[in-house]
Amino acid sequence: MTKVSHPSRCLLILIMITLVFSMAACKKTEFPKAEESVTGFFTALSKADLKEAEKYCKSDTGNFTFEDPQEEKLINLIFSKLNYEIVSTEEEGDTATVAVKLTNLDLQLVFEEMYGKIFDDAYDTALSEEEMSDDDMEEKMMGYLEEGMSDSEAPVLTSEFDVTLKKDKDKKIWVIQDDDAFMSNITGNLDEMLSE
């Protein structure tokens, strides 16, 4: 009969301890995947939760609030048809690129239609020699915008673009580099039209 000696048992315990520590060492404390930040951002945006969406952006101030209920209503409408798909993700060091396919309202067309109606109203008002106050004009603009964005046949725009992210060691997440190109893509190039 073979007898197990103490050195064998000690060796076995030593091997088990080594395995436990080596497995613990293999488990890195990593950042979540970059696409998780993109998913969190677009999910929050689709719910018009700009405070939550802002957490995933470089420009996060942490104190976003709507100025008035009308602004909140417009934001809800602007992102009411938002749909996104992550096409690919590439992480390299502290930088990541996530390719996104985004479908949302074509805000440029919605605004162009609204401006057309406002100009028609202004022209009709001028011909009738009546005056339209600034408040009346603003109310009509908001009404036309709401109507255009709420329409089930409202124009949508689908685009593919890259989202650039960088690791934020304080937040322990990847943050979106929300530059002009990014803003242009998520607003359907509305910023370009408004800057003209």
pLDDT single digits (tens) 5-29: 555 665 556 666 665 555 554 545 5
Confidence of residue 117 (pLDDT cuts 50, 70, 90): very high
Query: For residue 41, with 0-12 CB atoms within 10 Å meaning exposed, 13-18 middle and 19 or more buried, which class applies?
Result: buried
Residue-level pLDDT at 22: 57
Residue-level pLDDT at 133: 85
Span 28-34, average pLDDT:
74
pLDDT single digits (tens) 88-103: 999 999 999 999 999 9
Span 90-117, average pLDDT:
93
- In 3D space, the residue among 51, 53, 35, 33 whose CA is nearest the CA of residue 43 turns out to be 53
pTM of the model: 0.75
Give 166's strand partners.
Answer: 95, 175
Q: Look up the CATH architecture of domain 31-195.
A: Roll (3.10)
Q: Is the dihedral of CA 69, 72, 78, 79 positive or negative?
A: negative
Task: Return d(Cα 56, Cα 166) in angstroms, integer.
Answer: 10
Q: How many helices (H) and strands (E) does the chain have?
A: 8, 4
Provide, rounded to the nearest whole percent, the portion of the chain with pLDDT above 70. Answer: 79
Query: For residue 121, with 0-12 CB atoms within 10 Å meaning exposed, 13-18 middle and 19 or more buried, which class applies?
Result: middle
Domain definitions of the chain by residue range: 31-195
